[in-house]
């Protein structure tokens, strides 16, 4: 593995999962699977001494280096990163907020295409994560299963004949599997059906989280659906529950809501979407929250064919690239909140206006 703490390569790219392609990508942003694993010979993180943490980190890194094809995987020592760099990796969803904020020896190996990452010393010794664009749980599972097998060839996992993979928190024990699908549901939000839809699914063992802005005025309209239980079901059953039972039903509701909106008030909707694009492309300063709110409308407009010269991939990238740490990395220095608001507005303008702006590629 390459020793790589210069994240500048990642800054300019954007991960595979942001391509805006894959099944149902008008509604499903990404499919993410993570596995929690622990080594048999060490206590869980809470009871690890600083020396234990270092040994785990070193042992896992050395063992990963033995894997074929892993010599080109950038390996990032999180403890030595600046605050902005850690935040950057969190915004990019390559590491968790928890591992960014914790203390002591910790690291992450990042696949250059950003389809997978392996965190060392998070809440568990190992957190393997795979992320694909669109609704793509089956191939995401096949990939993470292979990675898990390869790592298991190198280290001895803490495993219990009855309870399965042992994890620091009993909410993860068994499969250690969390399947999460990120959905963009502006239609259900505008038609005020979102709570009804999720309430109708309450019996099903899934967790839904949404992000609302102030007074529901600023909203990114993103919702994440994940499995709640990890013990007593096979991985396949959990994948099917989220990917074949729950998510397709929500997608169906969202499509119906969008059709309804188009039939009902084509002009209103078109006006709303165009104004959103107008604000994003002309504002001189803009907060991250407001940006989310308008980008969400523009994204729906693109999907409904109301805006035809902006690419879905561009919108997806803008959601990430206008976050605080990304702006600072792209700008090359630390910025205050108000400087960021100015920089964000100018970044949006550059990518949404002008002859090259509405092209598919960001630079």
Phi, psi of 186 (to 5 degrees): -65, -35
User: Considering the rule CB under 8 A, would residue 152 count as an interface residue with other proteins?
Assistant: yes
Q: Which of residues 77-96 bind other proteins (CB under 8 A)?
A: 90, 96
Radius of gyration of the chain (CA): 21
Q: Which of residues 274-313 bind other proteins (CB under 8 A)?
A: 289
User: Considering the rule CB under 8 A, would residue 212 count as an interface residue with other proteins?
Assistant: yes
Question: x/- binding map, residues 97-136, to other proteins, per CB under 8 A?
Answer: xx------------------------x-------------
Nearer to other proteins, 223 or 347 (CB): 223
User: Considering the rule CB under 8 A, would residue 139 count as an interface residue with other proteins?
Assistant: no
Element (H, E) at 97: helix 97-101
HEC-encoded secondary structure of 39-101: ECCCCCHHHCCHHHHHHHHHHHHHHHHCCCCCCCCEEEEHHHCCHHHHHHHHHCCCCCHHHHH
CB 127 within 8 A of CB 94: no
CB of 176 to other proteins, least distance (A): 9
CB of 83 to other proteins, least distance (A): 13
| Residue 334 to residues 93, 102, 190, 312, Cα–Cα distance (Å) | 21, 22, 37, 29
Q: What is the spatial distance between Cα 59 and Cα 52, in angstroms, rounded to a whole number?
A: 10
User: Considering the rule CB under 8 A, would residue 171 count as an interface residue with other proteins?
Assistant: yes
Q: Which of residues 8-67 bind other proteins (CB under 8 A)?
A: 32, 38, 40-47, 63, 66-67
Q: What is the spatial distance between Cα 182 and Cα 228, in angstroms, rounded to a whole number?
A: 15
Phi, psi of 279 (to 5 degrees): -65, -45
User: Considering the rule CB under 8 A, would residue 195 count as an interface residue with other proteins?
Assistant: yes
User: Considering the rule CB under 8 A, would residue 333 count as an interface residue with other proteins?
Assistant: no
User: Considering the rule CB under 8 A, would residue 216 count as an interface residue with other proteins?
Assistant: yes
User: Considering the rule CB under 8 A, would residue 153 count as an interface residue with other proteins?
Assistant: yes
Q: Which range, of 111-119, 163-171, 299-307, 347-355, touches other proteins by CB under 8 A?
A: 163-171
Q: What is the spatial distance between Cα 105 and Cα 103, in angstroms, rounded to a whole number?
A: 7
Annotated binding-site residues for ATP read 30-34, 127, 178-182, 209-214
Which of 118, 119, 155, 283 touches other proteins by CB under 8 A? Answer: 155
């Amino acid at each position: 593995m390459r020793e790589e703490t210069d994240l500048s390569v990642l800054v300019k790219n954007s991960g595979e999962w942001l391509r805006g392609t894959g099944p149902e990508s008008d509604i499903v942003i990404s499919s993410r699977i993570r596995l929690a694993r622990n080594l048999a010979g060490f206590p869980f993180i809470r009871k690890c001494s600083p020396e234990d943490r270092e040994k785990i980190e070193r042992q896992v890194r050395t063992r990963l280096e033995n894997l074929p094809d892993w010599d080109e995987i950038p390996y990032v020592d999180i403890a030595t990163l600046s605050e902005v760099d850690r935040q950057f990796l969190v915004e990019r969803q390559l590491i968790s907020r928890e591992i960014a904020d914790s203390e002591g020896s910790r690291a992450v190996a990042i696949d250059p295409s950003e389809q997978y990452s392996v965190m060392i010393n998070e809440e568990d010794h190992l957190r393997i994560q795979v992320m694909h664009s669109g609704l793509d749980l089956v191939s995401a599972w096949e990939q993470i299963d292979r990675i898990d097998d390869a790592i298991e060839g190198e280290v001895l996992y803490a495993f219990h004949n009855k309870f399965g993979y042992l994890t620091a928190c009993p909410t993860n024990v068994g499969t250690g599997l969390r399947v999460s699908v990120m959905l963009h549901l502006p239609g259900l939000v505008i038609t005020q059906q979102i709570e009804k839809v999720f309430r109708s699914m309450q019996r099903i063992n899934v967790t839904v989280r949404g992000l609302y802005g102030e007074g529901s005025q600023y909203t990114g309209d993103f919702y994440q659906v994940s499995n709640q239980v990890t013990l007593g079901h096979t991985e396949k059953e959990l994948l099917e529950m989220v990917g074949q039972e729950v998510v397709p039903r929500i997608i169906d509701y969202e499509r119906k809501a969008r059709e309804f909106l188009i039939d009902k008030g084509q002009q209103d909707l078109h006006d709303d979407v165009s104004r959103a694009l107008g604000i994003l492309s002309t504002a001189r300063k803009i907060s991250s929250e407001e940006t989310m709110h308008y980008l969400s409308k523009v994204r729906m407009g693109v999907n409904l064919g109301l805006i035809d010269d902006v690419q879905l991939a561009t919108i997806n990238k803008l959601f990430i690239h206008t976050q605080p740490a990304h702006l600072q990395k792209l700008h090359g220095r630390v910025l205050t909140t108000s400087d960021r608001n100015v920089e964000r507005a100018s970044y949006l303008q550059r990518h949404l206006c002008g002859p090259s702006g509405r092209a598919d590629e960001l630079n």
